[in-house]
Amino acid sequence: MKIFPVLHRGSLLALALGLETAALWLILDHSLYERNLMTAGFCHFTASAIAGYIFPRIIVPDRYESQPATGDFFFALVFYLPVLGLMGLVLGIPLIAGWSSKRSQNSDSSVRVNKIRDLPSEVAATHGHPVNSHGLHDLYQSRDPSKRLQAVYATLKLEDRDAIPLLRMALGDATDDIRLLAYALLDRKEYRLSKRIEQAKQNLEKQEDSGKKQLYRQIANDYWELAHLGLVQGEAKNYVLGMAYKYIELGLVYSPEDSGLLFQYAQILLRLGRYQEALQEFKKAEMLGIEFICLQTYYAEIAFYTRRYYEVKQLMTAIELPAVYPLLTTAARFWQKKF
């Protein structure tokens, strides 16, 4: 499709409109009917080809690679609906441009990136009571054991991903009561997930094929949470990731085109250090609808592990600062430096 590489989009659009107008004029002229018909046909075909080239680029944002099927669609639309097809598309451009820019704003990386990666947020709120996890970390630094104990209790108000790092830190506390409370809280979180897994595995045996898909997804997700939240460590963590891998593959047998499953599958592969496979699965998930912006940091991570540092820089530079998650801001700043 790269037959108009040097012309500006506006010029190409004008050219297409001109060709379509010329074709219409030739058809309406009865003096040299047969020759006009051939010329009009050629003009209409060229206008359709230009439309097939230009409209995917206007509608699909720059960061996405346009697919050949999209071009074919616009070509067919203009070709089989002479005049009306092209006119409709041209009139629709302002609407499309407005929608596209709004969509772009909504998926701004600096706003959403922490949710994408499931990173600890600055302020976690539950039950309507905001609890600042960084404030709790400060409270936990107190020399007064009762304040440290208070900080550990307050993790009950945090979501797991925010609470667990503090609880793991408290496992090494010099005061027994604090250490034991942290241990008990971590143990309960792990118990809850393990129990769910056990229950779901029992249900699998009773379930018909149609219901199995959801159970596979749930089991894989719970195994993933155990590893991802840091509730298991070392070799046990690898084992748990292996189990998440096994169950998500079983789930994919039933839904090979489920973008959510593929996204999680790719994350597991990434944690297992299988970078190329992870990249392929992330790409598949993207093709099936997951936005590029959601995958940006994963691509950067894979590029980093596979030592493609220039690519890491490109991807990290696209993150607007300050990012919501402070550690990501630090990382992004590092990669945005000019060396």
Which of 14, 32, 171, 327: binder of another protein (CB under 8 A)?
171
Dihedral over Cα of 109, 112, 118, 121: its sign: positive
Q: Can you say whether residue 92 is alpha, beta or left, with left for phi > 0 and alpha for psi between -120 and 50 degrees?
A: alpha
Site string for another protein, 101-140 (x = CB under 8 A): -------------------------xx-------------
- By CB under 8 A, tell whether 198 contacts another protein: yes
Question: Which residues from 228-287 bind another protein, rule CB under 8 A?
Answer: 232-236, 239
- By CB under 8 A, tell whether 205 contacts another protein: no
Nearer to another protein, 28 or 174 (CB): 174
- Give the integer Cα–Cα distance in Å for 246 and 201: 13
Contact 136, 158 (CB under 8 A): yes
How many angstroms separate the Cα of 11 from the Cα of each of 8, 27, 51, 82? Answer: 5, 24, 12, 20
Contact 114, 152 (CB under 8 A): no
Question: Which residues from 174-193 bind another protein, rule CB under 8 A?
Answer: 176-177, 179-181, 183-188, 191-192
Nearer to another protein, 5 or 128 (CB): 128
The amino acid sitting at 250 is L
- Give the integer Cα–Cα distance in Å for 112 and 135: 22
The amino acid sitting at 202 is Q
- By CB under 8 A, tell whether 157 contacts another protein: yes
Number of residues this chain uses to bind another protein (CB under 8 A): 29
Instruction: Show the tokens assigned to 279.
Output: 């990249």
Binding span for another protein by CB under 8 A among 41-49, 152-160, 208-216, 268-276: 152-160
CB of 227 to another protein, least distance (A): 13
Nearer to another protein, 228 or 313 (CB): 228
